[in-house]
Amino acid sequence: MAKYLPLFPLNIVVFPGEKLNLHIFEPRYKQLVLDCTENEKSFGIPTYIQDGVGVYGTEMEIVQIEKTHPNGEMDIRTKGIHIFKIEHFDKMAPGRLYAGGEVEVFENDYKDDIVTRLKIKELLQKLYNSLGLEKLFTELLEDFKSYDIAHHLGLSTEQEYALLQLRTEAERQEAILQHLQQVVPIIEATEQLKERVKQNGHFKNLTPPNF
CA–CA separation, 42 and 62 (whole Å): 7
Instruction: Say which amino acid occupies 70.
Output: P
**pLDDT tens sequence across 143-156:** 899 999 999 998 99
DSSP E strands in the chain: the ranges are: 2-7, 19-24, 43-49, 52-68, 74-90, 99-105
Instruction: Say which amino acid occupies 6.
Output: P
Instruction: Say which amino acid occupies 22.
Output: L
DSSP code of residue 91: S
Over range 90-108, report the average pLDDT.
96
**pLDDT tens sequence across 194-207:** 666 565 555 445 55
CA–CA separation, 204 and 210 (whole Å): 18
CA–CA separation, 151 and 144 (whole Å): 13
Question: Under CATH, which number does the domain 2-105 receive?
Answer: 2.30.130.40
DSSP-H helix ranges across the chain = 27-39, 114-131, 134-138, 146-149, 157-164, 169-199
Burial 2-20 (b: 16+ CB within 10 A, else e): eeebbbbbeebbbbbebeb
**pLDDT tens sequence across 39-71:** 999 999 999 999 999 999 999 999 999 999 999
Determine the pLDDT at residue 131: 85
- Of the listed ranges 72-81, 96-105, 140-149, the least confidently predicted one is 140-149
Instruction: Say which amino acid occupies 192.
Output: Q
Determine the pLDDT at residue 208: 59
Every domain of the chain with CATH number 2.30.130.40 lies at: 2-105
